[in-house]
Each structure stands twice: as C-alpha cells, then as structure tokens.
C-alpha cells in the first residue's frame, strides 16, 4: 500500500508540473476543428505534437494524443465539431447490417419520391412488399392508394407520400433533407443479380488483423479520409449544420457501424478511431498521416480518399501520395495492414459534381487495384456504386451529388464487414491444402502449383479482384506447371483450390 501511495504521489507530482502555454485550451485527439489562426498542439505532458499553419487550421483534424492547443493569435479561437449529437440511432442495427445482396428481407431501402407521378427503382424486384413508410416510420403507405408497383418500379399516385420532401441548396450542392426519404421493406427476388463476388471474405489478405479478431485480442482500427468517411451526410451527422439537420433515424457513419459490428461478432476488443476531415485530398493524408495516425499505432488503417481528388488530382499524383503515406505508416509500424477504399462514384448528373468525376474515380480505382495483396485490401465501392446506380439511379442513393444517403452508406458498412466475415467451416476445409506452394510468385504468366499433401483431383480456379473467374482447370497431379501468358493480363489474382469438401486460397501476382 505504501509503494502504491508513493507511486501515485510521484505520478501526480510529475503531471502537476505540466503547465500548458498561456492561452492554450483543451483539445481532443482525432477531432475535426476550426481555428482562427495557426495551431500548436500538445500532448497531456505538454510535449509539442504538431504545428498547423493558419491555412490548414481553418478546417482540419487534430492529431493523435492531442490534449492542448495554442492558437496564434489567441483571439482567433478554437472550435471542435463532434460528428453526432445526443440522439441515439433509431435503427435495428442487426437488420441494417444484414447484407443487401443475400439477406432474406431488405429493411428500409430508401427511395426518393417528390410528387405525384414520380417513380423510383428498388434494387431488386420484390417477391413481396412488407411495408412502405415515410422517413420516420410514423406513416404507412398503401399499394393502389398511395403508390403503384410494377416490377421493381414504385410510382407515387398520392401527394401524401411526398409531404415531408425538402431540398435545400448550399455549398454548390442540392441537398435532399433526411425527411425526404421513403422506406421500403420487402422480400427480394435476386434472379437477375450476379455481383456477389465483389463482396466476399478477404481476411486471408489481412492475417495479422484477423489473428487479433479471432483470438479476441485488442485491435485498433483507424480511418483517415474525407467528408464521406466522417459521416456526411448520414441522418445522424451534425457536422454540416448549414446544409443538413440531423433527423430520424439518426444513423451513424459506415466507420462507426463497422466498428460496432466487429465488436459484436469478435468480442468487445476493437477500438475504432476516425481522423477524417471534409474537403481533404490524398495529398493531405500524405502530409499529416504521421501526427494523425502513427502515435495511435493502429493495427489496421482504412484510407478513404478520392471524392475531392476528382477536381484536379492526376492518377499518378494520387498514387504517389497514397504510396508515400502508406510507406510512412509502415516505417513507423511494419505490422500495420491497410484497407484502401476505391470511392463511390459521384452523381455526375447532379448539381456540383464535375463531369469527369466518374472517369477520374475509375482511374484511381484501376491504379489502387495494383496494390491489392497480402497486407492490403482494396475495397471497390467504385464499381459497386456503379452497379447500384444502374439498378436504382444515383438520385435514390445520395444525399447530394457527392455524399451517400443512409442506404448507400449501409453498402459501405456491410461490404467492409464482409472482408472479415469468414464463412462457417472454412478453417477446417483449408487444412488439407495448408502446404500448397506457388512458384515463382510473382510469375511472368507461367507458374508451378504444388498441392503438397492435398488430395487430387482438385479444381483450380483463378479470380480477378472483382471476383470474376478468369481461368479454371482440373489438376490430376500433385505438381503441375500452368502457362497463362496468352490469356491472362498482368495483375493480382486469387487462386482457389478445392476438391468439393476442402479448399484453400492463395494470392498470385502475374506480371
């Protein structure tokens, strides 16, 4: 007891000597802020962390470990912007995280109906419509009275459906307020859906992260990105008050929902940090990842950039900044793993989106896919959002031309969680092919596949990073040479070996 008392006294004495500079105010780490001057951030021991010039400090994110900040001039002031208010999400979380692409019932798919005669497409044709309700679930609408259904198309026939529709204009965008959405719950018919392969388990590429999750060890995940990553413009977000007021159902961002789901499934051991700030480009990540990310020592970093880069960042510059930032984080922590998000497409037909936005986003996506390997997963929301827009229309998936509504944000959350969602029984299945070897790897189109002690015959299938099967063969010998020079393009592929009961997956790079 005496030793403990002495230790506490010493700890108190040391920290009581930490007197922040005159004029410094308290600051929180990893928080969006505005300051009317340059900012010097300090940790709890008053050690300087970062000097942000006035231009950056006018809208940015505070560094990791921040406890104090001194603004120069002091009169400039320092203001932090929390992402959410005191309103609790009014959602059934498990239903909201049920994957749209394979769940039995789709709950609260959003559509935008803004007057009699307006129509909207559902993602899938309903086998049965369970309910059509207004934004806060208080009003139910009836088929044949308020709307008509033809295939997957809902047409408004009563003005009651759109009484709460409100659009406002600000920041160069047309903003559909949260009260504008209609919720449709239905049992889907997916007979014409074939895009599932883009939404699969990818944990074999994140072995260190998966090991911590599966063993319920403490895991730190940090996101660094832009406004979409912050949570603009989901219904619970309060950080954009000039354009959106939070409203029912007060849903949180895809980053928050991913963290909640990881803790729900793998035990309450995941800490989710979000160092994102609206309006930032990939160059900002490169410039500020060291003070914002490295002191937190995250096990997994989610980099979500692109929507602001479509205004002038070339693909080459985008990739130079991205790879530079990743190198800085890996130099600090060689064990860090990454998820790179290839961002949703802007609605190029909406107000405020550049006409070349989709083309530029696809350029970023193509370059990022070359980084997809062990330790780095590219999550492709670019082509996925394209598929969703083609089926529903971008106007029904976006709060404005640059930000997702709750529905599209759920695709982010569900798809990201699927990366960690290992199919039941796959661990046992993989043991038979645990000693498979591919050499050389990377290969110049020709490689040798050694099945080790795995049984033969085995089916060998090669998938590109969009989940498309590009090659399949049956291997009847333990060791076989494959020559794919003539029909396989250079890139990263997933090689699947199976015999009907047992399977394994290996990454293969072809140059």
What sign results for the dihedral spanned by CA atoms 185, 188, 194, 198?
positive
pLDDT beneath 50, residues of the chain: 1-16, 426-431
What residues does 167 pair with on adjacent strands? Answer: 176
Query: How does DSSP classify residue 346?
Result: P
CA distance 62 to 36: 14
Token digits for 25? Answer: 């105010």
Query: How does DSSP classify residue 83?
Result: S
Token digits for 28? Answer: 């929180």
CA distance 399 to 405: 5
Give the pLDDT of residue 195: 80
What residues does 483 pair with on adjacent strands? Answer: 446
pLDDT in tens, 368-417: 999 999 999 999 999 999 999 999 999 999 999 999 999 999 999 999 99
DSSP labels for 90-114? -S-HHHHHS-TTT-SSEEEEEEE--
CA distance 155 to 21: 63
Residue 504's SS3 state is: strand
CA distance 263 to 273: 14
CA distance 313 to 317: 6
Residue 254 neighbours by CB distance under 10 Å: 29
Contact between residue 111 and residue 154 where contact means Cβ atoms under 8 Å apart: yes
Token digits for 481? Answer: 């040479």
What is the Cα Rg of the chain in Å? Answer: 25
What does each C-alpha distance from 350 to 116, 360, 381 come to in angstroms?
Answer: 21, 16, 19
Residue 240 neighbours by CB distance under 10 Å: 21
Nearest to 339 by CA among 418, 427, 435, 242: 418
The CATH number of domain 196-418, selected from 3.40.228.10, 3.40.50.11720, 3.40.50.1110, 3.40.50.1820: 3.40.50.1110
Token digits for 420? Answer: 């960690």
Tell me if the pTM is above 0.95.
no
First to last CA, the chain: 65
Token digits for 303? Answer: 């980099």
Fold of 428-510: Immunoglobulin-like (2.60.40)
| Helix segments in 70-175, DSSP class H | 93-97
Domain boundaries, the chain: 13-80, 93-189, 196-418, 428-510
Give the pLDDT of residue 6: 37
Longest dimension (CA), the chain: 79
Calculate the dihedral angle through the C-alpha atoms of 191, 196, 201, 205, rounding to the nearest 10 degrees: 160
CA distance 178 to 160: 17
Give the pLDDT of residue 452: 82
Contact between residue 406 and residue 234 where contact means Cβ atoms under 8 Å apart: yes
Token digits for 476? Answer: 């009847």
Residue 99 neighbours by CB distance under 10 Å: 16
| SS3 of the chain: helix, strand, coil, percent, to 5 | 30, 30, 40
Omega into 442 within 30° of 0, i.e. cis? yes
> Does this chain's domain 196-418 share its CATH topology with 428-510?
no
Token digits for 318? Answer: 């985008």
Contact between residue 439 and residue 480 where contact means Cβ atoms under 8 Å apart: no
Give the pLDDT of residue 18: 87
């Amino acid at each position: 007891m005496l030793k403990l008392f002495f230790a506490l006294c010493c700890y108190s004495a040391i920290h009581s000597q930490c007197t922040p500079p005159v004029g410094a105010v308290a600051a929180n780490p990893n928080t969006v802020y505005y300051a009317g001057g340059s900012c010097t951030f300090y940790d709890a021991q008053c050690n300087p962390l970062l000097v942000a010039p006035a231009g950056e400090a006018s809208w940015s994110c505070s560094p990791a470990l921040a406890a104090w900040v001194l603004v120069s001039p002091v009169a400039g002031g320092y203001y932090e912007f929390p992402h959410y208010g005191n309103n609790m999400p009014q959602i059934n979380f498990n239903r909201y995280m049920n994957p749209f692409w394979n769940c039995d019932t789709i709950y609260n798919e959003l559509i935008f109906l803004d007057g009699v005669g307006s129509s909207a497409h559902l993602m899938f044709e309903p086998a049965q419509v369970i309910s059509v309700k207004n934004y806060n679930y208080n009003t139910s609408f009836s088929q044949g009275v308020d709307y008509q259904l033809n295939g997957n198309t809902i047409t408004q026939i009563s003005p009651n459906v759109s009484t709460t529709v409100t659009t406002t204009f600000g920041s160069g965008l047309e903003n559909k307020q949260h009260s504008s959405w209609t919720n449709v719950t239905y049992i889907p018919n997916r007979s014409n859906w074939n895009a599932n392969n883009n939404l699969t388990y990818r944990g074999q590429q994140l072995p260190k992260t998966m090991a911590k999750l599966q063993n319920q060890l403490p895991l730190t995940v940090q996101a660094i990105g832009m406004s979409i990553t912050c949570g603009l413009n989901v219904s619970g977000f309060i950080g954009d008050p000039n354009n959106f007021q939070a409203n029912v159902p007060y849903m949180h961002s895809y980053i928050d929902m991913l963290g909640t789901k990881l803790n729900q499934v793998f035990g309450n051991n995941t800490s989710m940090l979000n160092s994102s700030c609206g309006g930032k480009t990939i160059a900002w990540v490169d410039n500020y990842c060291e003070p914002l990310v490295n002191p937190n020592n995250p096990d997994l970093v989610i980099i979500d950039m692109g929507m602001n880069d479509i205004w002038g960042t070339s693909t080459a510059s985008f990739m130079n900044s991205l790879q530079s930032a990743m190198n800085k984080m890996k130099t600090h922590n060689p064990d860090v793993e990454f998820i790179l998000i290839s961002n949703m497409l802007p609605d190029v037909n909406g107000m405020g989106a550049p006409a070349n936005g989709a083309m530029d986003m696809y350029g970023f996506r193509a370059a990022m896919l070359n980084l997809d390997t062990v330790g780095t997963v590219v999550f492709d929301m670019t082509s996925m959002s394209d598929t969703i827009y083609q089926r529903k229309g971008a106007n029904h998936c976006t709060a404005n031309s640059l930000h997702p509504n709750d529905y599209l944000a759920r695709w982010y959350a569900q798809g990201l969680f699927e990366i960690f969602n290992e199919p039941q029984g796959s661990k046992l299945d993989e043991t038979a092919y645990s000693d498979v070897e591919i050499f050389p790897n990377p290969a110049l189109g020709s490689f040798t596949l050694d099945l080790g002690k795995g049984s033969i015959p085995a089916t060998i299938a090669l998938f590109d990073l969009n989940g498309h099967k590009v090659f399949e063969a049956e291997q009847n010998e333990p060791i076989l040479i494959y020559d794919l020079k003539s029909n396989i393009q250079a890139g990263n592929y997933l090689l699947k070996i199976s015999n009907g009961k047992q399977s394994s997956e290996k990454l293969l790079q072809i140059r």
